[in-house]
Chain A
Amino acid sequence: MLELEGQFSVLDVLQILAYKPGEYEVRFGDEFLHIANGNVTFYSGGSPEKCVRAVARYRGAIKVRPTRARRAFSFPVDELVVRAIFEAPGEERGLPEEFADAAESVRKELGEGVCLAIFSEGGEPILLSGDEAEARRCWRVWEISSHKLVPGLRRLTLVAGQEICFFIKARHQVLMGKASARVGVGPLQEALDRLARKFWAGNGEPEKAG
């Protein structure tokens, strides 16, 4: 039994357990997850996606003990750690969990290589799901277009080689989605319109363009 008292990150513990044989329970706050031979197999809060966000958020005491792991799914610990580090931090900046769930479902719908981001007007990614450097590069397209091509830009669609990119502006934020050109401009726009409606539902609709 390992007990860590203080402000610890679950990620630190998971990295130790990622390649350790055996079955363990990691308890953090009121929640726990089970690991069996390098795979997370159970999370008390539900799906692996929710687990990613929970472990990214948590700071505090952690208890680890050997156990017979429950098996609801199998998700490699090292992948969970990477996703928690690179994808989930946006949520810590106050975005609702429902949006993170909706974003996850859009990612699944649009397939591999999808990048989703919500930028502040200044170009800072408030939420990011995907490659940050790529998202920032896409932001440059919005920035140049809105400053130098057309003031009052509300929606932007970009087709470039094998990739397509779509932006929607709402108030002081900009939602961006990038996907493979195979997805098609129409389906990408529809998926992001849906996501934008979901995200801004509590605060009115996103601004509509012509």
Chain B
Amino acid sequence: MENLKRLVKEHPDLISLEVVEAGEGEIGGALKELLEVEGDLEELILETEGETLAFVRAPGKPAFVFARLKRGATLGFYRRLLKEIASEL
């Protein structure tokens, strides 16, 4: 958890960073539904006008690293960063 907070401080485009378990809470509930539709789901990137939400799944687990990114953030970089975090979950 401290590690995630540190990463948010270090990366100005990161608004928030957390781990979400599928089935827990509102976001987790939606992720669970998504896993029922797409069991192999690995990454989900959702772009709105103001921000980007990125979900990267921990390999073989129903848990996701979830990042809120500012508009214009370099997606390639953050996808790699989130994958790295997810692989350690």
Contact = CB atoms under 8 A, between A and B. Distances in A.
Contact of B33 (A148, A153, A156, A157): A148
Contact of A154 (B34, B48, B70): B48
B73 to A, nearest CB: 8
A140 to B, nearest CB: 5
Given A144-B34, A145-B34, A149-B27, A158 B41 contact: yes
B47 A153 contact: yes
B44 A145 contact: yes
Interface residues on A, range: 20 to 34
A209 interface: yes
Contacts of A150: 46, 48, 53
B48 A160 contact: no
A141 B46 CA distance: 11
A158 B38 contact: yes
Interface in B7-58: 26-27, 29-30, 33-34, 37-53
**Most chain-A CB neighbours within 10 Å: which of B34, B41, B71?**
B34
Contacts of B60: none
Nearest to A164: B43
Contact of B30 (A149, A161, A208): A149
Given A150-B53, A160-B41, A161-B40, A145 B46 contact: yes
Contact of B72 (A140, A141, A158, A210): A210
Contacts of A140: 37
Interface residues of B, number: 26
A163 B37 CA distance: 14
Nearest to B51: A210
Interface in A64-92: none
Contacts of B39: 160
Which of the listed residues B29, B33, B39, B47 has the most CB atoms from chain A within 10 Å of its own CB? B47
A141 B50 contact: no
A203 B34 CA distance: 33
Contacts of B40: 160-163
Given A152-B48, A208-B49, 13 more contacts: A148-B29, A148-B33, A149-B30, A149-B46, A151-B48, A155-B47, A157-B44, A158-B44, A159-B41, A160-B40, A163-B40, A209-B49, A210-B70
Interface of A: 137, 140-141, 144-145, 148-163, 207-210
